[in-house]
Every structure is written in C-alpha cells, then in structure tokens.
Structure 1
C-alpha cells in the first residue's frame, strides 16, 4: 500500500471518535504567520490540535545559511508529536485550508521520522469540509501525552552540496513545485533572487489538484509525472520548491500515483541562493 493516503470529509466524520485518532490542523499563510493560529481559535474540526508550519514543522532560520523553513530538529518534533497525543500506532489526519501544501509538509515529516502507516491528508482540506456542510468546533481537544518515537531517515534528503554535485547527471529528475512564472524567473514575490536550479523541470504543485481542490485520480497523476521522468528511474527523483514545503505536495502526489517516495532538497530555492557560487537558470 502507498504511504500516501487520502481521507474524505465524510470518512473522517465516521472515524472522528475513533480511539487513538489524532487530527492536526496545519493551516498557515506565508503573508501572515499568525493566520493559522487565529483561524484555529475561530473554529476547527472537532478534536484537532494546531500544528504551526514555523513553530512546529520548521526550525529557526539562520540568515544567509538556511532556507526560509529549515527542517525541525528531530527531537523537538518528536516531543511535539507526543504532546499532541501521537502514539506509535496512532492514525493521523492532517488538513489545511484546502490545497494540502502545509498538511503535506506534516505528512513528509512523519515519513521522515518513520511513521508511514495510518497517515492521511484530508482531501480538499477544510474547503471540502465546509462544502459538505460539516460544523467546526471551538473546544480545546482533550488528550494524554503520546509515546511516539522516531528516527530521521537521512536517505530521504539531499543536501545542497550533494545536489550541486549531481547537476547535469542524466539519470536525475529534478522537479520544482513553484508556479511557472517564478520558475522561469519572471517574478519573485518572496525570495531575493529569481530563477530556478539548472536542469530542473517545473511541476507546479497546484496541478496535482482538480477544479474541486481535491487530488487528481492516481492515473492522471501517473501520467503527469511520467512526462517529467521520461525513461529515468523514479528512485533518482529530487523535489524542491521555495522553502521545502510545497515540494512535499509533489512527493505525496507521486506516491499517490504509485511511485516510490523521492528525495527532498529541503533547503530548496531559498537556501540555494544563499551561496552566490551556485548556478541559477531562468526561462523555461
């Protein structure tokens, strides 16, 4: 079974009172770091705990060295998961407003720590929950501390140095989850340098979704990524984005399509450009 699993709003309602189920509200907005926490306080799926991209799913930025969302320290993340009530056997459902980018970051972090069974993204996120007419809660969830333990899997990561050494190797597929205009370097609303890593292909994460905001069927995702892979092995695929967040959406979609979990360049574009010696490319 694929480690990427989806759950619909109605399926979640049916399992909401399941013992051991942990629901994580991962809402966030890059332009307003307090948006997720404030939105959670105004209403969340009953029983959900709040997981913040910057406070929980990232470590502090080191200016000029790291990207915008460095990976959290494993011990800190494990402690946070335990505080949320996560056990070794817990089923976990993650959601955000809808696109799934921040929820997918949480999914990847759990996979990184070895938790690869029973982890779901709410398909369509809170938008789908609202569309179904389901209510939100203002109540703080009650839970006891969990016993989760994990160990980071370094094989899922590629550093900037190792990526640089592999540039130009014909067997590697490098995909960038940002939108086409940012990839081509025509606009750059967030980072100080525009463009992309040489040899990358644009695979905007938003194209993993249909018009309803839910993930495309597996066969359509398979076709989408088969065009990027060509005749190269999916085991040599590396995903990146602006700061290591939406790249996880592509890795989730690849697993939904039946491919193995690829590697993540977690520092992504915002780390790549901290070293002026690293090459950049523009255009298609």
Structure 2
C-alpha cells in the first residue's frame, strides 16, 4: 500500500498540465522577447539606408531597366573616381539593389554611403534627355492617385471609363486609365480600379467622389486624407494595392526588415531577360540546353 501511495503522489494528477520543455537555468521568456525587440529596433534604425533612386522626369519616379543600366554604369564610374582621388578614405558600399513597383531601390551599407549617393546622383551627366535623378526615402516615392468605382452594370472597362469622361467634362480626366476590372458581382455590378490624377482627386474628394455615369451617379472611392474624415466613400488602407497585387511601401514603424517583401533584393542582372522558349528556334533551344 505504501508503494502505491508513493507512486500516486509522484504521478501528475489527471488533467493537470504537463511541462513539455525544461528551460535552462536562469532563462525566461522575457529574455527572448528582449532579444527580438533589440533586433527589431536595429532593423528599424537601418531602414533609412534602403532608399529609392527616382527619375523626377517620370510622374511615378520610374525608370526602365535600360536607363538603370546606364545609371548603374555612371555610378560605378563615380566610385572609381572616388577610389582614385581619395584612396585612403572608406569606400561607399552597398548591400544590394532591387525594384519596387518600377522604382529602383538601393540599400546602402552605412550613413556615409547614403550621403555619398545623395551627393553624387544629382550630379551624374551623360544620361538621357530630361533625366532628373534624385534619392528619396522609400515612403516618398511619387505615385499617381488611384480610385475604385463600382459600376452598376457590367460594361467593358475602357467603355465604362470613356462614358465617365464624357459625362463629366468639368473634371480633368484626359490621362485617366483602367488598371483592373474585377469579376462581375452577383448583383450585376462590377468594380473597376482607375488611375486618376492629383487635380481630379482634389476636386472629387470635396464631393465624396461623386460623378455622373449612365442614368445616374457613381462614387469613386478615394484614398482617405485624414483619419478623422467621416466620408464613407474612401479606400481602406492598402486596399487598391492588394487588389492590384502591388507591394506597399510600409512605414518603418511597422518593423519590417530590410529584406522583406517590399523589395526584390539582388542585382538587376539576375532578372529574367531570356525570351520564352516558344519564341526560340529549334537550334536556339538546343543551344540553351545544358551539355
């Protein structure tokens, strides 16, 4: 009987929680949380080193891959000049480049590299006509405003846009374009995402995006400008970007690392540039096969 009572006392009670892992002496969850917090703070502090190289000659700050190759060459030339003129000074160094929605992203290793880049880029010469290169924070990448509108009936996107333009001559719509047409809704309507312009957005925001269309009106849902705005015809944060499958430039306070999804880190030479196999001749296909 004594042995049974002893085993019963040593065994955990039925239903009692059983520890699955023993912690090392002196270790706590607080320690691991502090380590993660320190890493997050370090990443946030370094986010300013990932900057956008924009062309102010383009409304969205974009540049083509060909123009980037020319710019890249000019920047390397500038590095050679720096190396030869100040051989004893630390060299500007980069940790990678990538693309973000058609804008070039460069990640500097340190603040002196960022300062060199900011001073060098505006002075580059021998570029294309109208080039106005600048280095800005990723959150300051220029972008054309976008709107989401629900048309009451299913109409081909471009035709719906043309009617919207014609019925609203007081709104500057000449450069508007359709970005995406959603699948028809069970109710018979259809969502369309439109790229508009700043002047039109300013006018429409004051009237909740209301525009004449068809036999009545539609409401363009616009980006909310102030958190306290009570307008119901505004977009949720990141809604259009998610619909378009675009990456969002996220504020550093959201603790994303320098290599998160908002960048495609790696040299542009690693991008797919080969033509599809269907466009190659049989001889070319054979030549691309490994030996």
Question: Normalised by the size of structure 1, how large is the TM-score?
Answer: 0.23
Larger-gyration structure (1/2): 2
- Structure scoring higher RCO (CA < 8 A, sep ≥ 6) equals 1
Question: Normalised by the size of structure 2, how large is the TM-score?
Answer: 0.23
